[in-house]
Amino acid sequence: MSFKKTLLATVACAMTFIGGAAAADTLRIGVEGAYPPFSMKEADGTLSGFDIDIALALCAQLERECELVEQEWDGMIPALQARKYDAIVASMSITEDRKKQVDFTEKYYDTPSRFIAREGAEFDMTVEGTDGVKIGVLRGTTLQCHVEKAFPNADLRLYNTQEDVFADLVAGRLDMQLNNTLQAMDGFLNTPQGEGFAFLGENVDDPECLGEGTGIAVRKGDPLAGELTAAIEAIRADGTYAAINDKYFDVDIYGK
């Protein structure tokens, strides 16, 4: 599938409503819009990013019109269950806890997580060593799960958007923050805002909290999970996935 087809999906996304009613074959996708380079808002208010392009490519592969529905992160799964949209394409990690609430496709990417702090900062990353240390994470994420489990005595600060986490880190209201490595690099460390900050320690290894890759969530029992998995496999086979990947990253983020 070519980007021409993806472009058609983008156009379809802007024409979701026909005659005042949504077309029957419209696929409503929940996205965030505040997690660059995976999802972000352009100056004109349009959504862009890796997740956005993947969502549009999958709609095109399934030959369905695409409606992107913006949603704050901590309300993602409740809004899906309330039928605000049909699927979530928002860098959601596949975890056992979430599997109790939703069904997932196969992964569509898999990248590690890592802490960020001021350059030269040194912390004893133990339960005792992080007592009172101010750690910021996005609310309702696998990262929150990890910090609560591994560093229960830390001063955990929860945020609604990743942009707010970075802002408080720069302002000195946080000692460190935990994030996806690629999002941290492109959304913070490689920007003027991130000057003077660096990764702290190694990649975090915690399958229990961080899951088994990033997938697309649908409601329990919805056959859409299988359809989207087949669509993921199709766009990987025809080169569409690689083209989207290379638009945002210098490495293949699909993982092994």
Three-state secondary structure readout of the chain: CCHHHHHHHHHHHCCCEECCEECCCCEEEEECCCECCCEEECCCCCEECHHHHHHHHHHHHCCCCEEEEECCHHHHHHHHHCCCCCEEEEEEECCHHHHCCEEECCCCECCCEEEEEECCCCCCCCCCCCCCCEEEEECCCHHHHHHHHHCCCCEEEEECCHHHHHHHHHHCCCCEEEEEHHHHHHHHHCCHHHCCEEEECCCCCCHHHHCCCEEEEEECCCCHHHHHHHHHHHHHHCCHHHHHHHHHCCCCCCCC
- pLDDT in single tens digits along all 256 residues of the chain: 444 344 334 434 443 333 333 445 899 999 999 999 999 999 999 999 999 999 999 999 999 999 999 999 999 999 999 999 999 999 999 999 999 999 999 999 999 999 999 999 999 999 999 999 999 999 999 999 999 999 999 999 999 999 999 999 999 999 999 999 988 998 999 999 999 999 999 999 898 899 889 999 999 999 999 999 999 999 999 999 999 999 999 889 998 7
What's the confidence (pLDDT) of residue 250?
87
Integer CA distances (angstroms), 227 to 15, 61, 231, 242, in order: 23, 10, 6, 20
What's the confidence (pLDDT) of residue 32?
94
What's the confidence (pLDDT) of residue 23?
44
What's the confidence (pLDDT) of residue 45?
92
Q: Give the chain's end-to-end CA distance (angstroms, integer).
A: 23
Decide if 209 contacts 142 (C-beta within 8 A): yes
Amino acid at 130: T
Residue linked to tokens 């408080």: 168
What's the confidence (pLDDT) of residue 217?
98
- Non-local (6+) Cβ contacts of 233 within 8 A are 106
What's the confidence (pLDDT) of residue 186?
87
- Non-local (6+) Cβ contacts of 88 within 8 A are 29, 30, 31, 76, 77, 80, 102, 216, 217, 218
CA 182 – CA 180 distance, rounded (Å): 6
What's the confidence (pLDDT) of residue 16?
39
